[in-house]
Structure 1
Amino acid sequence: MTSRTAQARAALPAALAEPLEAWVEHLVAGRDLSEHTVRAYTGDVVSLLDHLVRLGGTRVADLDLAVLRSWLALGRTRGDGRSTTARRAASARGFTAHLRRTGLTSEDVGLRLASPRAHRTLPDVLTADQARSVAEVPRTLPDDASTEAAAVALRDALVVDLLYASGVRVAELVGLDLDDVDHGRRLLRVLGKGRKERSVPFGVPAEAALRRWLDAGRPVLARAGSGPALLLGVRGARIDPREIRRVVHAATAAVPGAPELGPHGLRHSAATHVLEGGADLRSVQELLGHASLATTQIYTHVTVERLRAVHAAAHPRA
């Protein structure tokens, strides 16, 4: 939360601050949203309530459709794009719905609030050959590499292999414990968004990388306080998500012609390649842990766009 948002939140009158705090508690305890999502939604509604105060409002009953529309319009004049406007409108609708459910207002004024549909940009993805090359990058070690450096290389190879093999999110990978791996069936038990648990398969190369890490890498980095974490940092604690992002960016940047991607790019690539290999959309939805099939459908657009690009490059009358 920015200092400006924090100041605006602190300056809200009690009649607005208390409903806000109750809604934030609902987001955390009732909906179990991530810290990042709660922070974004809270910032949006603080901005809305600050706008209401500037218009002379002092209580949530003063929040009407005109206030909501003027708040979104103000954001557009300040440079908010379609995606930001769509998110801010969703935050406002969530807040007004909560006000109505808890009896603080007699109607849900946000029901009539329209917002632009966010543009869905197609993500960059690796080709299958590029993905294989990216997976090989962390395995390269100088001849004079120390034991710790060798252990880190084994861990980094596993990070790239597992992200691409399973399509899991960074937070899901970081949260894996040793007993979350079913070696016999090659499955990961991951805890996804909304604390929903699912089992995700991974392939033979990732299993080989996992065995090398557990046999020769993890014992080198493990300390007395390491606990059950599958992946460790150099100090023996559970690996930091920032380190995973660094590893993936370095691996993709090292492959000529490949787009430089982060972990989510490997997730996009895995989903695209699975679809291109013949998997149905429902299976990919389950693999990725998407709550809605609509979220998964972007990958059908990715594969269609890639097909069009290949056709344009290869067909003599394209």
Structure 2
Amino acid sequence: MNEELKALLQSFTEYLQIEKNYSTYTIEHYRHDIEELYVFMKEQGLNSLEVIEYFDARLFLTSLYEKKLSRASVSRKISSLRSFYRFLNREKLVMANPFSFVAKPKKEQKLPQFFYEEEIEAILVACEGDKPLQIRNRALFELLYATGVRVSECANVQMKDIDFSLSTVLVKGKGSKERYIPFGSFAQDALKDYLNESRPKLLKGHNHSNVFVNHRGGPLTPRGIRHILNKIIESASLTGKIHPHMLRHTFATHLLNNGADLRTVQELLGHAHLSSTQVYTHVTKEHLRKTYLAHHPRA
């Protein structure tokens, strides 16, 4: 990667941080997608972003399919590069956006995976224990299931964000949009146990306001949370690895199964568009269908 391309990527990164206020996780994806384009440029002998044309963009798209990437990954990369070129065009560094007319693949219609209530109970049993890390893990799982927050949002929750008098947590979502989410008595009890008994022991002299602490006393990262969840699922003897988003899916599915309206679930999840939440209605319908087929005598 030559110095000019490095400088452009750095400028775009600063734009995402300062103007768009994107999370570190999102910005990493953008950087990775653009660096992948830079590798392609080197392979094709393209020495600047200005010379890339629609044909080159199509060729890049073909190279992504040859790598057997999922439709979602390909679609995200195209979106990243469109945004990159829009930024370059705004700064008058290029004249055209070769990715504007590259068709993104249609999304795969996969229903979100979720846990059944008896599986949640098995996981909660696996979280039991009186050691500081076990108490933390119980509180972590209870909060994730009770609120449906993203792992990155959970990792960033601060002490001042939890209001026990109202049983709510203040969450900073995508684009730093804030929302208050209520939690129930089980999460409240688990959090109080953790904050009173476990967190002070885990801090080990560290001074920070993150609610969740790792075994060294520092703030727990999203990667750390994923590792903990995988360990919990192993202890519960459930098959397969737990994907952090499964708890978010479970939160939404269980609310809808028990009569919550779609708009409320949308607000709790922090979805900008109702269409993002509507996928869970398909999950609940499929659940009803399977239950019917399994139990109706003339199904």
Q: CA deviation at 1:133?
A: 3.1
C-alpha distance in structure 2 between counterparts of 1:224 and 1:257, whole Å: 37
Quote the RMSD (CA, aligned, Å).
2.4
Identify the range of structure 1 (200-209 vs 78-87) with the bigger mean alpha-carbon deviation: 78-87
2:204 aligns to what?
223
Paired residue type of 1:302: V
After TM superposition, the structure 1 = structure 2 runs for residues 59-208 of structure 1, keeping only pairs within 5 Å, are 59-140=48-129, 150-208=131-189
C-alpha distance in structure 1 between counterparts of 2:175 and 2:11, whole Å: 19
Paired residue type of 2:50: A
C-alpha distance in structure 1 between counterparts of 2:135 and 2:42, whole Å: 56
Cα pair distance change 1:23/1:232, threshold 3 Å: closer
C-alpha distance in structure 2 between counterparts of 1:76 and 1:239, whole Å: 36
Cα pair distance change 1:22/1:167, threshold 3 Å: same
Q: CA deviation at 1:217?
A: 2.1
1:310 maps onto 2:291 in alignment = yes
8 Å CA contact 1:72, 1:88 repeated in 2: no
8 Å CA contact 1:161, 1:206 repeated in 2: yes
Counterpart of 2:179 in 1: which secondary structure?
strand
Q: Name stretches of at least 5 consecutive residues in structure 1 with no aligned partner.
A: 1-9, 142-149
C-alpha distance in structure 2 between counterparts of 1:178 and 1:17, whole Å: 39
Aligned residues: 299
Q: CA deviation at 1:302?
A: 1.6
Cα pair distance change 1:295/1:205, threshold 3 Å: same
8 Å CA contact 2:162, 2:168 repeated in 1: yes
1:250 aligns to what?
231
1:33 maps onto 2:14 in alignment = no
8 Å CA contact 1:188, 1:201 repeated in 2: yes
8 Å CA contact 1:271, 1:284 repeated in 2: yes
Identify the range of structure 1 (45-54 vs 307-316) with the bigger mean alpha-carbon deviation: 45-54
Cα pair distance change 1:21/1:246, threshold 3 Å: closer
Structure number with bigger Rg: 1
1:144 aligns to what?
none
Q: CA deviation at 1:270?
A: 0.9
Q: Name stretches of at least 5 consecutive residues in structure 2 with no aligned partner.
A: none
C-alpha distance in structure 2 between counterparts of 1:240 and 1:46, whole Å: 25
Q: CA deviation at 1:72?
A: 0.7
After TM superposition, the structure 1 = structure 2 runs for residues 284-299 of structure 1, keeping only pairs within 5 Å, are 284-299=265-280
C-alpha distance in structure 2 between counterparts of 1:204 and 1:48, whole Å: 49
Paired residue type of 1:314: H
2:249 aligns to what?
268
Paired residue type of 1:204: S
Cα pair distance change 1:54/1:13, threshold 3 Å: farther
Q: CA deviation at 1:155?
A: 1.4
Q: CA deviation at 1:183?
A: 0.6
C-alpha distance in structure 2 between counterparts of 1:93 and 1:167, whole Å: 31
Cα pair distance change 1:242/1:85, threshold 3 Å: closer
C-alpha distance in structure 1 between counterparts of 2:44 and 2:104, whole Å: 21
Q: Percent identity?
A: 32
Counterpart of 1:112 in 2: which secondary structure?
coil
C-alpha distance in structure 1 between counterparts of 2:271 and 2:159, whole Å: 24
C-alpha distance in structure 2 between counterparts of 1:224 and 1:306, whole Å: 48
- Cα offsets for 1:64-118 (capped at 9, x unmatched): 2111001111222233332222122112211222222222233333221112123
C-alpha distance in structure 2 between counterparts of 1:151 and 1:100, whole Å: 53
Cα pair distance change 1:81/1:138, threshold 3 Å: closer
C-alpha distance in structure 2 between counterparts of 1:302 and 1:137, whole Å: 26
